Amino acid sequence: MIFLNGDWMPIEDAKISVLDRGFIYGDGVYEYVPVINRKPYRLLPHLARLDKSCQEIGLKNPYSVEQWSDIIKQIIAKQSFDDQGVYWQVTRGVAKRDHTFPKDVEPTVFMMSNPLPKLTQTQIDDGVACYTYPDLRWHRCHIKSISLLGNVLARQHSFEQGGVECVMLRDGFMTEASASNVFCVFGDTIVSPPKDNHILGGITLDGVMELATKSNMKLVVRSVPEAEMWTADEMWLSSSSKGVLAITSLDDKPIGNPLHRGKPGPMFKKMFAIMQADMHA
Ligand SMILES: Cc1ncc(COP(=O)(O)O)c(C=O)c1O
């Protein structure tokens, strides 16, 4: 069952107008929360980010934290599987096509839950291949907007070469992936680009920072020039659907220092274990 504007129905029965501004303009925002054993993981930060995304685009958040939490609780209970990925989006609603915000229009709210994608043991043990791509997106990437064409094209470029994700580069610096944040490790230090307007502030990124601090792993927030990225001892992806995942090949070149070149490194293995424990706590 899915949720659409206050009603529950099978996804096949869900209908929205072709004049919905999400359809016409990509005018809306979204969220995705992983659910482990029927428990949403880090839900409150996701709800806070949704509220921030709404504010950034001048859209009234239609529900309070309590109301969102209740709808999410209900959608989880309606599924037959335990580990889920709950996706929901809010658009500016249905109105005559005109760029200007319409007045007195109710936002469209859609929510669905699917089985949480599972990493394969090979992906965990060997890491994954990624391909670089120019970051051609706008300058407000901190908004979790449903307009994702730049991300879609970057992911497709990587997919066509057998990659799992892309690593985007803007003005000579590493930004993020199409649906994940990217970390580099240099020696014993984890490095994350700053959460500015050129990346989405990932909830998993925040989780990595929190768990690294708690575990006395060094973490520094600073920009990573492309040239330095290529010298990283390890590279990682982070996202709600993947948790953390090692990048072991970039543009067909092995990543990592000679001790574990092309394989996940020791810092990744430590963070992966810590995060798994936290997600299943
Ligand atoms: C562009 C982008 N960056 C990063 C992330 C990771 O964010 P989170 O950890 O909150 O899933 C996502 C998630 O969809 C994303 O779309």
- Would the CB of 20 count as within 6 Å of ligand 1? no
Taking 90 as the threshold, does the pLDDT of residue 215 lie above it? yes
The CA 242 to ligand 1 mean position distance, Å, reads 10
- CA-nearest residue for atom 5, ligand 1, is 180
Taking 90 as the threshold, does the pLDDT of residue 258 lie above it? no
Alpha helices in 41-181 (DSSP H): 43-56, 65-77, 121-126, 149-160
- Would the CB of 240 count as within 6 Å of ligand 1? yes
In contact, 160 and 42? CB cutoff 8 Å: no
pTM: 0.97
Pull the structure tokens for residue 27. Answer: 């005018």
CA–centroid distance for 95 within its chain? 29
pLDDT, residue 259, reads 86
The CA 192 to ligand 1 mean position distance, Å, reads 14
In the chain, residues under CATH classification 3.20.10.10 are 121-279
DSSP 96-108: SS-SSPPSS-PPE
| pLDDT band, residue 12 (cuts 50/70/90) | very high
Nearest to 159 by CA among 146, 178, 141: 178
pLDDT, residue 217, reads 98
Question: Which three-class secondary structure state does DSSP give residue 264?
Answer: coil
Taking 90 as the threshold, does the pLDDT of residue 260 lie above it? no
Fold of 121-279: D-amino Acid Aminotransferase; Chain A, domain 2 (3.20.10)
Nearest to 269 by CA among 118, 120, 83, 126: 126
Q: If you compute the radius of gyration of the chain from its CA atoms, what whole number of angstroms results?
A: 19
**pLDDT tens, position by position, 117-132:** 999 999 999 999 999 9
Distance CA 174, CA 223 (A): 7
Nearest to 1 by CA among 82, 114, 83: 114
Of 144, 242, 253, 269, the active-site residue reads 144
Question: Which three-class secondary structure state does DSSP give residue 260?
Answer: coil
Taking 90 as the threshold, does the pLDDT of residue 181 lie above it? yes
Q: How far apart are the first and last CA of the chain?
A: 28
- Would the CB of 108 count as within 6 Å of ligand 1? no
Question: With respect to CATH, is domain 2-115 assigned 3.40.1180.10?
Answer: no
- Would the CB of 145 count as within 6 Å of ligand 1? no
pLDDT, residue 204, reads 98
Question: Of all residues in the chain, what percent carry a pLDDT higher than 90?
Answer: 98
In the chain, residues under CATH classification 3.30.470.10 are 2-115
Angle at the Cα of 223 (from 222 to 229), degrees rounded to 5? 115
52 assigned to active site: no
The CA 7 to ligand 1 mean position distance, Å, reads 28
**pLDDT tens, position by position, 59-112:** 999 999 999 999 999 999 999 999 999 999 999 999 999 999 999 999 999 999
